[in-house]
Amino acid sequence: MSVSEKLLRKYAELIVRTGVNVQPGQIVQLTISVEQHEFAALVIEECYKAGAKKVNVDWTSDVQSRLNFTYAQQDMLSAVLPWEEAKMKQMTEDLPCRIFIVSDDPDALSGIDPQKISAVMQSRSAVMKPYRNAIEGRHQWVIAAHPSEKWAKKCFPDAQDAEGKLWEAILRTVRVTDDNDPVAEWKAHTDFIEEKAAWLNSQAFTSLEYKSSNGTDFTVELIPGARWEGAGMKNPLNDAFYIPNMPTEEIFTSPYAGKCEGTLVAVKPLSWNSQIIDGFSITFKDGKAVSCRAEQGQELLEKMIKMDECACMLGEVALVPKESPVNQCGFLFYETLFDENACCHCALGMGFKEVLPGGDDLTVEQAQEKGINDSIIHVDFMVGADDLSIDGMKPDGTKVPVFRNGTWAS
Ligand code: ZN
C-alpha cells in the first residue's frame, strides 16, 4: 500500500487541528525525524494554514543518535550545552504548541551499553527538568506517528511491504480512512472516553484491586479527589482543547505514590531506551518496586527502577478495554504511544499533577506532598491480560466491578 497524498494531508490536518489544535498567532515546535521530511512539510503547511505565527523544527535521526552513543564519550553526551538550555528557556516564555512525530527504530541503540544510555539520560533530564516543569500544563502538545523503514521491519520482519502495513495500522488506530470524517469520529470517541471518566470520578474509588490468572494480584490506593482523565485536555492559558496522544484509548489517573502492594505481570514486551524488556513482572511493597523478574532485559529493568529515588513508585494507572483498535491490530508496535493504548497499564515514575484539583498551579513539591510521584522517568508497561478483572473500592467499603475479562464491566 502506498499512501496517497490526499490521505497524508488528511492525517496531517487531523494532527494539527484536532490533535494539538494550533490557534492563530501561536508558535509551533515540531520534532520529527529527518527521514520524514516530506510529511514534515505537510504538517508545517497545515500549521501555517491554522494560523501559526512561526513553525520551528527539531530534526532527529536514529542514525546520528547511534553514532553518538558509539563514538562519543559519556561526559560529552551528558552535557547540556548553554544553547540547548537557552532554547528550553525560550520555550518557557513562548509556550509553543509542540508536535512530536515518532518513527523511531525500536532497535536503534541495541548493543549499546545500557549503563551509558541511562547515565546520559539521567544527567540530561536533571538539567532539562525544571524547564519541562515550567511548561507542563501550560502549552498544547501532541504525539503522533509516522512509519519508518526500520520500525516497520521490526513489526513485520517477513512482510514484503512492511511500511505499507504499518501505515495501514497507524491510520486505522487514528481513525483516518479515504472516505471518512475523522473529526466526527474523534468527537464520538472522545465523548465515550469522557463519559467513562465521569463515571469513574463519580464513584470516588479509594483503591483498585487487580487480578488475572497470569499472576497479577495487586492493590493500589488512589488519591482522594484526584480525577480520572482521558482523551483531551484544555490549555488553561487559552482554553484550547487538545488531544496529546494520537491514538488514545486510555483513561488514567495518578495513584497515591508509595501506596500499593502486590505483583503486576506484564502482558507485552516493553521497548525502553530503544532496547527490549520482555516477559517481566514487578512486585511492590509499601508502594515501592522491591523486586522484578524479566526473561529478557533484566539488567535494563533493574536500572530503570533505580533511575532515581522515586523511579520505583507508580505515577500512573490507566484503563483501556481489550477491544481497543490498537489491540485489534494484533501485533506489537514496539512504541509506547501505541502499545500503551492496547490494554490496561501502569507507569513507573513521574505522575500527573494536573489530575489534582487546582493541580496546574501546584509546584512539583506541593503535588508530591499530596501523593503525586515525581521522577525523571515515566515508563508505561502493559498489564491488561484478557482475563483481567479490576474492582473499585468505595469509601464505604463496597466493591464495584470496573473491569471483567479485560474490558469494562458495564
Ligand atoms: Zn498511560
**DSSP string covering 68-118:** HHHHS-HHHHH---HHHHHHHHHHHHH--EEEEEE---TTTTTTS-HHHHH
pLDDT reported for residue 336: 84
Task: Write the burial class of residue 57 (CB in 10 Å: 0-12 exposed, 13-18 middle, 19+ buried).
Answer: middle
pLDDT reported for residue 360: 79
pLDDT digit string (tens) for 140-159?
Answer: 999 999 999 999 999 999 99
Rounded distance from Cα 122 to ligand 1 centre (Å): 22
Rounded distance from Cα 62 to ligand 1 centre (Å): 24
The domain total for the chain is 2
Co-location of 147 and 207 in the same domain: no
What confidence tier does 118 reach under pLDDT thresholds 50, 70, 90?
Answer: confident
Rounded distance from Cα 368 to ligand 1 centre (Å): 19
Residue at 296 is within a domain? yes
pLDDT reported for residue 293: 97
Co-location of 342 and 387 in the same domain: yes
In terms of phi and psi (left: phi > 0; alpha: psi -120 to 50; beta: otherwise), the region of 349 is left
Q: How far is CA 313 from CA 254, 257, 282, 348, in A?
A: 11, 6, 11, 6
Rounded distance from Cα 73 to ligand 1 centre (Å): 34
Instruction: Answer yes or no: is pLDDT of 260 > 90.
Output: yes
Closest CA to 269 of 280, 257, 260: 280
Q: Which domain holds residue 51?
A: 5-173
Co-location of 277 and 324 in the same domain: yes
Co-location of 68 and 15 in the same domain: yes
Q: Is the CB of residue 241 less than 8 Å from the CB of residue 21?
A: yes
Q: What are the backbone dihedrals phi and psi of residue 164, each rounded to the nearest 5 degrees, phi first? A: -60, -40
Co-location of 125 and 210 in the same domain: no
CATH number assigned to the domain comprising residue 153: 3.40.1830.10
Residue at 66 is within a domain? yes
Letter for the amino acid at 41?
A
Co-location of 158 and 212 in the same domain: no
Co-location of 140 and 222 in the same domain: no
Rounded distance from Cα 318 to ligand 1 centre (Å): 5
Residue at 237 is within a domain? no
Rounded distance from Cα 71 to ligand 1 centre (Å): 34
Rounded distance from Cα 299 to ligand 1 centre (Å): 24
Co-location of 164 and 216 in the same domain: no
Co-location of 108 and 217 in the same domain: no
Residue at 179 is within a domain? no
Rounded distance from Cα 135 to ligand 1 centre (Å): 20
Co-location of 260 and 404 in the same domain: yes
Residue at 186 is within a domain? no
Residue at 32 is within a domain? yes
**Maximal C-alpha separation, the chain:** 60
Instruction: Answer yes or no: is pLDDT of 354 > 70.
Output: yes
Instruction: Answer yes or no: is pLDDT of 164 > 60.
Output: yes
What confidence tier does 1 reach under pLDDT thresholds 50, 70, 90?
Answer: low
Rounded distance from Cα 350 to ligand 1 centre (Å): 11
Rounded distance from Cα 53 to ligand 1 centre (Å): 32
Co-location of 134 and 219 in the same domain: no
pLDDT reported for residue 409: 96
Which residues make beta-bridge pairs with 294? 280
Residue at 236 is within a domain? no
Letter for the amino acid at 69?
F
Q: Spell out the SS3 assignment of 272-307.
A: ECCEEEEEEEEEEECCEEEEEEEEECHHHHHHHHCC
Q: What is the pTM of this model?
A: 0.83
| C-alpha cell recorded at residue 76 | 560529552
Instruction: Using the CB atoms, write b or e for 375-406: b if 16+ within 10 Å.
Output: bbbbbbbbbbbeebbbbbbeeeeeeeebbeeb
Closest CA to 226 of 91, 370, 345, 121: 370
Residue at 76 is within a domain? yes
Co-location of 147 and 13 in the same domain: yes
